[in-house]
A and B are shown apart, each in its own frame.
Chain A
Amino acid sequence: MPKIRHGIFFLLSLALLSCGEKPQNHNAGTPKTAAADLSSDVAQMAENFLADSARTRLVILLSPT
């Protein structure tokens, strides 16, 4: 009986662990050190870019492949 209880506890632990949120790896392949003109702080850069009120602005979103 203790062996069965131990087995049930083990299986429940496994099930609980597998229910955890998987980390999203959107940055796979992204180097930690970004080149000067490919900044990782995109949102702030975009905000600054769009705040440049003196010019007409063209924003293009593309996949590189």
Chain B
Amino acid sequence: MVQSDILAKINSPQLSVFVIWLPIMGADSYQHAQQAQALLPDARARHLWDGRLALGQGYRRILPLGAECKFAWDVYLLYRPGGNRFRYTLLGNSKKGWTPPAPDFWMHQLNCMTREQYFDSKVLRENIEALLTGNLAAR
């Protein structure tokens, strides 16, 4: 859906796509992630396997997800052009964690969340196009 409804309809080389595959379901594995890359074959997309859920936990910390959401996944985050830096955070258990920068726009498909900002390919595409033309206000 993301490939056909969004990426295939936006030809701009000014868009970069970063796909992070996470072991959320019991059967999820690196091998499954390798196979799943075929779902998003866009040349601008870079695929990564987050086996330790570093980014799933990092984004969980900055997104207003429901209490039942253990990790951030099935989420779509947009960043406008400009520097966005990660921050190191000292967690309660003394382990350092990644705190990613807050996105300018985001959507989700999580059951543990309300329907607010629920994924809609048309809305996401319009927001990407707005960012590409510099017309998206920060949210």
Interface residues, chain A, CB within 8 Å of chain B?
26-31, 34-35, 37-40, 42-43, 45-47, 49-65
Contacts and interface: CB of A to CB of B under 8 A. Distances in A.
B79 A59 contact: yes
B113 interface: no
Contacts of A31: 30-31
B49 A54 contact: no
Interface string B23-41: 1110111111111110010
B76 A60 contact: yes
A16 to B, nearest CB: 22
Given A49-B46, A53-B82, A56-B15, A61 B54 contact: no
Interface of B: 2, 12, 14-25, 27-37, 40, 46-56, 58-59, 72-86, 98, 100-101, 103, 128, 131-132
Contacts of A43: 54-55, 58, 86, 98
Contacts of A64: 21, 28-29, 32-33, 35-36
Interface of A is mostly: loop
B79 A27 contact: no
A47 B53 CA distance: 15
A25 to B, nearest CB: 10
B25 A55 contact: no
Best-surrounded residue of A38, A51, A53 (most CB of chain B within 10 A):
A38
Best-surrounded residue of A34, A37, A61 (most CB of chain B within 10 A):
A61
A42 B46 contact: no
A59 B18 contact: yes
Contacts of A51: 83-85
Contacts of A46: 18, 20, 48, 55, 86, 98, 100
Contact of A30 (B18, B29, B78, B82): B29
Nearest to B13: A55
A63 B128 CA distance: 22
